[in-house]
Amino acid sequence: MEKQAKIYITGHRGLVGSAVLRALQQQGFHNLVMRTSQELDLRIQADVDRFFEQEQPDYVFVVAGKVGGIMANSTYPAEFIYDNVMIAANVIHASYKCKVKKLLFTGSSCIYPKFARQPIKEDYLLDGKLEPTNDAYAIAKIAGIKMCQAYHRQYGVNFISAMPTNLYGINDNFDLQSSHVLPALIRKFHDAKQGNAPEVVLWGTGRPLREFLFVDDLADALLFLMEHYNDPEIINVGVGKEISIREVAELIRDIVGFQGKLVFDATKPDGTPRKLLDVSKIQQLGWQAKTPLVDGIRKTYAWFEATHRG
């Protein structure tokens, strides 16, 4: 990407979008285009088309979307599939019509089958049934992936797709009703510490294994892929290491400084039992994650403490 190129970041105030914005600014990109969801509703095709015709961006990062944890995905599946399908369809089609040089669409590791072989290779996509608690979100992301591939096949456009693993970091969502597991754990332990609670109760058994990527590492990877990857086939982005929910909960408890008891409610769902991405493809290109989990959690909690009072 040329330093003077016009770059559009969807969802620039969210977890991923804000990290991409920081990374671009740090690398000297200055011609950046952004709109809040109040200024531009990406679900409305006419508004998206008008925006693209006016701005004519050279590069597009599609990182906006409706996201959440098990509870949010289970409670609002219609919103998760509608919002994410419409965002992907409108932005990808407008990018094609306005001759965007390159587009990067971000999916999620939840696109893969629930019982996929581990670690999960890119070609395991659609190789089995999805996890029921987030299938609406996964299908929307798969639709975006397939749309990028179809437009590449039919029109020859350079639209690529990256699949990040579980993310966390600065500007994360810490709402207990809609957040992902790691920020939810930070919030639970923080609130318990502030309230001198005797225990913290967590969903599930604590046995599922997860991989966690600091969002600034993802942003670094996305810029790397914009520079070095031009294949329409999806590419995984992760750390290549996993940890149990129990272990990450204990790690967060220690970082937050909560002294009480940790209790797991096995009557609640665990979700996918294991989800580790095979990241050999991106590592062979020359990229790998830099931030150890403990350092990333410390940075995230420091930001949370600085921005969330009470």
Q: Which residues contact 267 (CB under 8 A, 6 or more apart)?
A: none
**pLDDT of res. 28:** 96
> Domain for residue 200, yes or no?
no
Average pLDDT of 263-277?
Answer: 88
Q: Is residue 56 part of a domain?
A: yes
Domain count, the chain: 1
Residue 199 lies in a domain: no
204 assigned binding-site residue? no
The reply to whether 69 sits in an annotated binding site is no
Looking at the predicted structure, is the pLDDT value of residue 310 above 60? no
Distance CA 145, CA 147 (A): 5
Sign of the C-alpha dihedral computed for residues 153, 159, 160 and 161 taken in this order: negative
Q: Report the CATH number that the domain containing residue 94 is assigned in CATH.
A: 3.40.50.720
Please, which pLDDT band fits residue 276 given cuts at 50, 70 and 90? very high
- List residues with catalytic annotation: 137
Q: For residue 71, what pLDDT is reported? A: 76
Annotated ligand binding at 57? The verdict is no
Provide the pLDDT confidence category of residue 273 given band limits of 50, 70 and 90. confident
- Which residues constitute the domain of residue 35? 7-169+212-240+275-290
Q: Determine, yes or no, domain membership for 185.
A: no
Q: Is the pLDDT assigned to residue 116 strictly greater than 60? A: yes
Confidence grade of residue 69 (pLDDT, cut at 50, 70, 90): confident
Strand pairing category for 59-62 and 102-106 = parallel
210 known member of a binding site: yes
Does 15 fall in a domain? yes
Dist CA 260 CA 258 (whole Å):
6
Give domain status of residue 17, yes or no: yes
Q: Does some domain include residue 71?
A: yes
The pLDDT value given to residue 133: 87
pLDDT above 60 (res 131):
yes
Alpha carbons 158 and 229: distance in angstroms, whole number:
10
